[in-house]
Chain A
Amino acid sequence: MKQIDWSSLVINESGKAVKKFMYVNRHAPHGTIYPLEGLEVVLIGAAFDQDVSMAFIGDGVFQLNKGQDTADSGMKNVALTYGALGDYEVTKLYVEQESLDERGLELNDLMNLTWEDEEENWAEKPSIQVVSRAQLSDLLEQQDVILNF
C-alpha cells in the first residue's frame, strides 16, 4: 500500500489541511475567455483558506499590463479585478522574466498590485514577483494542485 507522507502537511486555523494551489495563466486578456474564467476560479478558491499563488507565463503576462481600458470596445474590463486579489489574500503573483523580455515589457509596465501584511502592522507589500523560468519551474514542482487557464 502506498504510504502517505504527512511530514509536509500544513494545518490551517480551522483544522483543515492546506494545499498549495497554483493557477497558471498563459493567455492574453480580452481575446479569449480564459483569463476571466481563471480569475473567477481563483477568487472562489481563495475563500477556502488554501495556499494560493498565480503564475503568468507567455501571453499571460499581458494580463497585468498597466492602463487597460475597454470602454471603447464594449467589453468588461477584467483588468480591474487584479487589484482586488490582495484583499482576497492572493498575494503571490509570479511573472516569468523571459516572457516579459520577449514582449518588450518590464516590471514598470505592469500594474502596481499590493497586499497588506497583517503580521507586520498591515504594511503594504508588492504582490508581483518577477521570477526566472528556472525559478518558476521549481515553483511548479512544489505545488499540490496546478490549474491552467
Chain B
Amino acid sequence: MLHTVNKSPFDSHSLQTCLGLAKAGSDILLIEDAVYAAMSGTAVTSMVESAMSSSTIYALESDLRARGIGSEKMISGINLVGYDGFVELAVTNDKVQSWL
C-alpha cells in the first residue's frame, strides 16, 4: 500500500499515526509540509529512520526544493521522486491511503 502524508511532523501527528499503522513493505511518500520529516538532525529524525527499516520512504523533490531542503540536509536513504514517480507509486500499489 502507498501512504501519502502532507502535514509537518512538528505540527501534526499524522506521520506518527501513519508510521504506526503502515505494514512492513509499505511505500510512504512525503509531500507538501511532510517533506520536513526528511530532514536530518531534527526531533523526528529517529522516528523516520526506524520506519525505514521496514518501509520504503519517498519524498517529492519539488516540495523539498520549494522549502530549501537540499540533499545535504536530508536523511540518507530517502528516495527522491518527481510528479512522474508519484504517479508510478500510485499505480503500482494496489491502494493509496492519504493521511490528510
Contacts and interface: CB of A to CB of B under 8 A. Distances in A.
Given A28-B11, A30-B32, A59-B8, A102 B42 contact: yes
Contacts of A71: 65
Contact of A73 (B8, B11, B45, B66): B66
B10 A103 contact: yes
A71 B66 CA distance: 8
Contacts of A68: 65-68
Contacts of A29: 66-67
A104 B66 contact: no
Interface stretch (B18-26, B33-41, B49-57, B91-99): B33-41
A28 B11 CA distance: 9
A109 B36 CA distance: 14
A16 interface: no
Interface string A23-57: 00001111110000000000000000000000000
B40 A73 contact: no
Given A30-B67, A72-B62, A104 B45 contact: yes
B87 interface: no
Interface residues of B, number: 24
Given A31-B32, A58-B10, A72 B66 contact: yes
A31 B8 contact: yes
A102 B9 CA distance: 11
Given A103-B39, A104-B41, A69 B66 contact: yes
A79 B73 CA distance: 19
Interface string B69-91: 11001000000000000000000
A109 B70 CA distance: 11
B97 to A, nearest CB: 20
Interface of A: 27-32, 58-59, 62, 65-73, 75, 77, 79, 102-104, 109
Interface of B: 6-8, 10-11, 32-33, 36, 39-43, 45, 61-63, 65-70, 73
5 contacts: A32-B33, A65-B68, A67-B68, A71-B65, A72-B61
